[in-house]
Structure 1
Amino acid sequence: MHYKRVIPCMDVDNGRVVKGTKFIDIRDAGDPVELAAHYDAQGADELIFLDITATSDKRATVVELARRAADQVFVPFTIGGGVRQVQDAHDVLGAGADKVAINSAALARPELIDELAQVFGAQCVVLAIDAKRRPDGSYEAYVAGGRTPTGKDALEWAREGVERGAGEILLTSMDRDGTNDGYELRLTNRVANVVDVPVIASGGAGHPQDLVEALTVGADAVLCASIFHYGSHTIPEVKDALRKAGFETRPIAANPLA
């Protein structure tokens, strides 16, 4: 049976989970590993940590985060931030992460995707794409938290990334991120239709129905941050909504901490 996944995401800045609206109005949401353990116990299917700390020595930070998380959580987790070469990924995966997410480093040097897939396998490589809608209705890939355009068409980049070996696409609408207005369904559907790997919908979840809609248009998994961090909804609550909508999810009782 193919389960749809509910994935809490933790944006980590200087060791703390933060969340804002389109990466502004940032609020503190707690310790990343404590939150991760809480979500694990609630029935999260996977976890994603994205280190957004502005430091040149980010690799040491994410390696330590991976090590701490591996000691506390039992579900698979992905770490992004600081992975710019194969050795960086080796260190993070060796510390306990199951996957690495790459974004700006892959845009700067697309061959990085090929190298990571060849060494670790596509299942360990998540290509994160931050996209904004252009006036003509197309979508452009951005970096720096949605502040810097790359000139790269987001759909073409998703297709290229998968051809190079990415095993999953983490797709964030920067127009919706943190707004709680729902995912960008048109973007999600378009990317899901051009790649043959799972697409994780991200950016904008505010209610369980938003998750249902993202899965309906083709997402394989749904990523959420603020609705969980600030207690407006729980993982059991959203999984119940997904099941009622006809989507199979991993039973929460299967979690060793439940």
Structure 2
Amino acid sequence: MINKNRIIPILLLDNGEVYKTLQFTNPQYIGDPINTINIFNEKKVDELIVLDISKETKSKGPNFEILADIASEAFFPIAYGGGIQSLEQAKRIMGLGFDKLSFCSAVYNNPLLVENCVKTFGAQSVVGCLDFRMGPSGDINIYINNGNEKINWSVEKYMSAIEQLHVGELVINNIDKDGTFSGYNFDLLRKIKAKIKIPMIASGGAKSYGDISSLFSIVDISAAAGALFVYYGRYNAVLISYPSKEEKLEILNGK
């Protein structure tokens, strides 16, 4: 049987450049997105999620110029999220060559846009996103607007909204673990997955390929995503990593 699980890097854009964050804050410059895309081409990544976190994108909409450059260079499926405010913008992004659209804040404040994108492009082309932090009493607090705004929704209410929108997949993003390389919270991810039927992508906290392998063994998910693959090495050199074909087989087979 062919293993359908995927390993997906996440690329964060801020004003057209690639950045890394720590718990959604303190963005650190990494480099040029096109160079990064070309390296991922060489490494034959399964897929890539591009998220624009810049303040300008939130107010003015997507940077179509840089998105066109990214789409023209990538030889793998790409999803995009950030600042999509209308179906027309969504159509333009898909027309550039993107394969999927990702929505987080819109699930809460513009569900009609998400619904229309599902109707227009199909469920397989629309990804929902749940950004959350753990509260002091162990409760899950949901955030929008790049983790800056807490909303008064329970996980159950969010999952119900997601399923009613009929998106194809859901990214679960643990803000507390973003950029920490501290390992996944497997028990928490299992509890969240039990609340939803659609395929789930886990993001936040991956510390190694072995950690990703454990994730696939312990939690019923379709993909592992994150910024683990773009990091600073010795002497602050920027390194871009992705498992080789052999390493990926070991990860997916739990070795």
Q: TM-score range by the shorter chain?
A: 0.7 to 0.9
Q: Structure 1 22/246 Cα, relative in aligned 2: closer, same or farther at 3 Å?
A: closer
Distance 1:189 1:212 in 2: 15
2:155 is matched with 154
Work out whether 1:132 is the aligned partner of 2:139: no
Q: Counterparts of 1:227 and 1:42 in 2: how far apart (Å)?
A: 11
Q: Are 1:10 and 1:48, in contact at CA under 8 Å, matched by a contact in 2? A: yes
**What pairs up with 1:1-258 in 2 under 5 angstroms?**
1-55=2-56, 56-59=59-62, 61=63, 63-216=64-217, 217-230=219-232, 234-236=241-243, 240-247=246-253
Distance change >3 Å, CA 245–CA 27, structure 1 → 2: closer
Output one character per residue of 1:57-112: Cα deviation in whole Å (capped at 9) or x when no partner: 122x0x22331122111110001001122112111111111001111122112232
Q: Cα 1:202–1:155, aligned 2, differ >3 Å: closer, same or farther?
A: farther
Deviates more, 1:239-248 or 1:18-27: 239-248
Aligned amino acid, residue 221 of structure 2? A
Percent of pairs with identical residues: 29
Q: 1:184: Cα distance to partner?
A: 2.8
- 1:101, 1:128 within 8 Å by CA — same for their partners in 2? yes
Query: Per the alignment, in what secondary structure is the counterpart of residue 106 of structure 2?
Result: helix
Deviations 1:215-257 (A, max 9, x none): 22122111121443435773125x6455335539xxxxxxxxx
In structure 1, runs of 5+ residues without a counterpart are 249-258
> Which whole-Å deviations, capped at 9, do the CAs of 1:156-188 have from their partners, x for residues lacking one?
313421221111101100111111101232332
Partner Cα separation in structure 2 for residue 30 and residue 14 of structure 1: 12
Judging changes above 3 Å, is the alpha-carbon distance between structure 1 residues 33 and 150 closer, same or farther for their aligned structure 2 residues? same
- Aligned letter for 1:57? K
Aligned residues: 245
Bigger shift: residues 12-21 or 162-171? 162-171
Contact 1:36–1:47, Cα closer than 8 Å, also in 2: no
Give the gaps of 5 or more residues in structure 2: 234-238
d(CA) in 2 for partners of 1:243 and 1:155?
35
Counterpart Cα distance in 1 of 2:50 and 2:252: 29
Kept after mapping to 2: 8 A contact 1:201/1:219: yes
Secondary structure of the equivalent of 2:183?
A: coil
Q: Within 1, Cα distance between the matches of 2:251 and 2:98? A: 32
CA contact (8 A) 1:155 1:191 kept: no
3-state SS of the aligned residue for 1:219?
coil
2:236 aligned residue: none
